[in-house]
Chain A
Amino acid sequence: MSEIKVTVRLFASLRESVGRERVDIALPSGAAAADAWSAIPGVEPLPPTGTRYAVNGDWAAADQHLHDGDELALILPVSGG
């Protein structure tokens, strides 16, 4: 099975848990945005309800397929203001 490499950008408590602002991960070819969560070492197995995704700077659905070299942002539920 072929693999793709994706850079994941991390924010807030997720950034602190991992200790880095970005982490490179390998995923099976055909993986979706939401699949990245389980490939990040040291975090709980499922993202919080309401987590969103952005791929290469644009909003993306959780089931959007990733491609080799993509940059994925994990957007935890927000609390601005």
Chain B
Amino acid sequence: MTYLHRDLLQLAELLATVSDPEHGGNCLFSGSTRREAASEDVRALIYEADEDLAEREIGRIIEEARERFGARAAAQHRLGRVEAGEVSVAVASSAPHRDNAFLACRYLIDEIKSRVPIWKQAEFADGRTRWDDGRTG
């Protein structure tokens, strides 16, 4: 797998992959699991994906960021159990100037969160679990 990882994400390595001597702006965004959701105490999030489809969709989003913003772009997403406070998703971009580096970075994280088939299940401190996938009950 290229973009999906079951181990801790390596942010410095991710940022290094977009390094380019022609690019003066570099941007890194990471999202980590919040300890609290809807006033409940979250112990961990468990991520599950349609792995093949998710890999290809992240690849498409990276290509779109390159084309739209003239950027280099990279992304990683955790799968499996992620303890509260750990990084679950990271994106990095670089562009000749900072404006497009910021825009590409924002594009990457927004599109990944809205399009890529990855779901999360919250595990609460009292042991209950709840999927966040649009179904109720």
* A→B interface (CB under 8 Å): 9, 11-16, 44, 48-52, 54, 57, 59, 73, 75-81
Interface members, chain B 111-137 (any A CB < 8 Å): 112-121, 131-135
Q: Is the CB of B116 within 8 A of A78?
A: yes
* B→A interface (CB under 8 Å): 31, 47-50, 52-53, 56, 77, 88-89, 109, 112-121, 131-135
Can you sample 9 A-B contacts with CB below 8 Å? A12-B131, A14-B135, A44-B135, A48-B134, A57-B53, A75-B50, A76-B135, A78-B114, A79-B133
Q: Which residues of A contact B131 (CB under 8 A)?
A: 12-13, 16
Q: Is the CB of A80 within 8 A of B134?
A: no
Q: Which residues of B contact A50 (CB under 8 A)?
A: 134
Q: Is the CB of B77 within 8 A of A76?
A: no
Is chain A's binding surface mostly helix, strand, loop or mixed? loop
Q: Is the CB of B134 within 8 A of A51?
A: yes
Residue of B nearest to A59 (CB): B53
With contacts A78-B113, A80-B120 known, what are 17 further pairs, Cβ within 8 A? A11-B50, A13-B131, A14-B135, A16-B131, A48-B133, A48-B134, A54-B53, A54-B117, A59-B53, A73-B50, A76-B119, A78-B114, A80-B112, A80-B118, A80-B119, A81-B89, A81-B109
